[in-house]
Amino acid sequence: MRSSEGKYWIEGLRRRWIFSDAVKAFCFAATAAIISATVAMHFLGTGWKAFVLIFLLLFAGISAWMKYWNISSAQVSRFVDDQFPEVEQSSWLVLEPEENLSLLQRLQADRVNKVLSAKKISDAPWKQLVGPVLVLVAAIALSYGLSFISQSNRSITDSITEKNAGMPVVKENIPAEVSGFVITITPPAYTGKQARSQQQFSLTAETGSMVKWAIKTSLPVQSMVLLLNDNESVPLKSADNKSTWSASRLIAKSGFYQIVLNGKKSDYYQMEVTPDLPVAIRITNPAQHSTIDIGQPQQIDLKVLLNDDYGITDASISATMASGKGEAVSFKEKKIALQTNIHNQRSIQISQRILLRELGMKPGDELYFYINAKDNHGQLSRSDTYFVSIQDTTELMSLAGIDNGVNLVPEYFRSQRQLIMDTEKLLKEKAGMSEEEFKNKSNNLGIDQKMLRLRYGKFLGEEEETNIGGGHADEKEGKHAEGKDEHGHEAEQHAEAVEFGNTQAIMDQYAHKHDTSEDATFFEPELKAQLKATLNEMWTAELRLRTYEPQQALPFEYKALRLLKDLQQKSRAYVAKTTFKTSPIKPEKRLTGELKEVNGVQTSRSGGAGNKSVTVLKATLAMLENKKEGLPAMPGDLGVLLQAQQQLSAAASNTPAKYLDALKSTKKVLALWKNGNPQARDIAAMQKGLSLLIGAELAVPVQLSARSSELTKSYFKQLNRMQ
């Protein structure tokens, strides 16, 4: 009996190869998944769930490609023959049963057993893992580095943004008496932002921020005041030495301010307030008006995106279900919770499925819903109202109201209802009939649907089947469908081949024709479009019936019927019931002729003050243009400039970013108007601000000349003669 050490030795090596290949597949899959997930997180903001999904898919794919579990002992023996010359290419002998070997082979097998038992199992499977493990470690390091850099960049960007908020475009003009100052901005607590300090007078703050000014002067001053928007004074308090001043103010709106030291005003400084907007709600699915047709699942796949400046604290769905008709309509309100955790996030994506049956809705009911959301400042916002209705088959199949009013739709249009009933009957009887009989009946229903569709086509000016429901024609179907399948696919391909290269067909797409069959109808464009949509639904139903799929044809048949009933309602002439309530009549005042309490029609002319202000601004622009040309100043120019400055000051208090530069330049122009020459850049900046205030003038109507009036009278006189 020969020993089996060699066989066990080869089997152990095989298990090592299988395990090492599995580890190799794991390393490659994990490397690719880590890199993909890191990129997705950095650019798309996805979570680590994407890593798990990508890893599982890649590991399964790589394993299926490598098939390491199929490594056989014969393959391992060939590796042993190549790596160990001592076995003399005979390692396979230890794997064969002893009864299958000759005497010399048994002797050689014993020799191989002795050689292998004296050797350690090869480490070659472990050596091949060095590369994949190093690649995996590098991918982990790269992912960590990118995450760290991204987080650092985000922190640096946020800190720079907060630090440099409100940085002026140009260098500020600081009063000479001021030796140093610090402005501290403390945002409201709900924003989650820390207090920040800056050494600039122009500032940008969140709504409701507390702003503190701390100003030091080189010499003691008697008084220091902050003049806000040229109409509000905020005194600064000083210590005993009169050189350190401070004041605090809650900022609620944008504007500008000046520092007044001992009655001397400084330059203008901007105060920009960032408003806290309510939650922005965006519903991407469903559409604002949607109908659930027959055969569709009675559910809503809701997709909502919520965004807020500082955080969202609550969101919900307010739904109202309406059921019944006429005076028996009942409404039921319900608040539906969103299936997501809201913990003061700034952005939330919501995907939620709402089952209408669980809300107690049935065919014919309607659902009205909107989204409510609240931010961490308590501001409420709501979306538009969305409407979802479930189509009622009973209403569609009913004949009530068909003979009321004036019906412009032909009587045979209502045969679509009979087609639906025949299709449902065919589906019920399918189990008790043969396949051939079922196909014949389904095909016959398709023929009936085709005939009904052709009748509709006549009301669109189409006397034959051309361009109805996909461009099939009777003549082409009769000529080319013989010997082919019964759906006319070959004829359709032939029609496309004929149209290719047809000059007349290309010209028909762009030519303006007055005798087209489609326009030779009595339908309005809206009714015509709905009738075309009905033809498309009928064509799809016919296709399903012709291909022996009546179950799939039912939704299209129901939709065609719904469009038909809607078309009937639109074409019906009726007078709606209306009620009118008059105000009560006082008998004592009737027929007295007293008109003192009757006010005549008054036309408000608010444009007078506006025209006056525009006149002042235009005069100021003309004066500035004369000043640029070197003309001397007139005595009344200063008063006009002061009026223009008042208007610029009022505009800058509302939108400082737009008009504050012009107001600063106006101050400089006024200082040098009489006894100096203002700089050209100040005049240009002032002109720009005045032009923005004037805006685009509307065209003013002018009276026609006498000659034009006579021509107009003659024209209307000729028109009267022609009638």
Q: Are strands 386-390 and 289-292 parallel, antiparallel or unpaired?
A: parallel
Mean pLDDT of 395-413: 47
Report the pLDDT value the prediction gives residue 211, as an integer from 0 to 100: 93
One CATH from 1.10.3470, 2.60.40, 3.40.50, 3.50.50 for 166-274: 2.60.40
**pLDDT, tens digit, 9 for 90 and up, residues 92-142:** 666 666 666 667 766 767 777 667 766 666 667 777 777 888 888 888 887
Buried b (16+ CB within 10 A) or exposed e, 585-601: eeeeeeeeeeeeeeeee
pLDDT digits (tens, 9 = 90+) for 635-681: 777 888 888 888 888 888 888 888 888 888 888 888 777 777 788 88
For residue range 10-61, what is the model confidence (pLDDT) as tens digits? 777 777 777 878 888 888 888 887 877 777 766 555 556 667 777 788 888 8
Q: Measured between alpha carbons, how far is 505 from 630 in angstroms, rounded to an integer? A: 71
Measured torsion, CA atoms of residues 402, 404, 410, 411, in degrees rounded to the nearest 10: 50
Would you say residue 706 has pLDDT above 50?
no
Contact 553/427 with Cβ under 8 angstroms? Answer: no
Q: Which two tokens stand for residue 126?
A: 């472990």
For residue 397, is it left (φ>0), alpha (ψ between -120 and 50) or beta? alpha
Chain CA centroid to CA 185, Å: 35
pLDDT surpasses 50 at 495: no
**Those residues with Cβ within 8 angstroms of residue 486's Cβ, 6 or more apart along the chain or in another chain:** 443, 546
For residues 579-591, give the mean pLDDT.
68
What pLDDT score was predicted for residue 679? 82
- CATH class of the region 282-394: mainly beta
Over 346-406, what HEC string results?
EEEEEEEEEECHHHCCCCCCEEEEEEEEEECCCCEEECCCEEEEECCHHHHHCCCCCCCCE
Q: Give the closest residue to 534 by CA, choosing from 414, 426, 405, 388.
A: 414
Q: Residues 552-577: what's their mean pLDDT?
A: 74
**How large is the average pLDDT for residues 535-556?**
88
- What the block records as the tokens of 312 is 């969202």
Digit-coded pLDDT (tens) for 306-357? 999 899 999 999 998 888 775 567 788 889 888 888 888 889 999 999 998 8
pLDDT at 385 > cutoff 50: yes
* Residue 571 binned pLDDT confidence (cut-offs 50, 70, 90): low
- Whether the pLDDT of residue 449 is over 80: the answer is yes
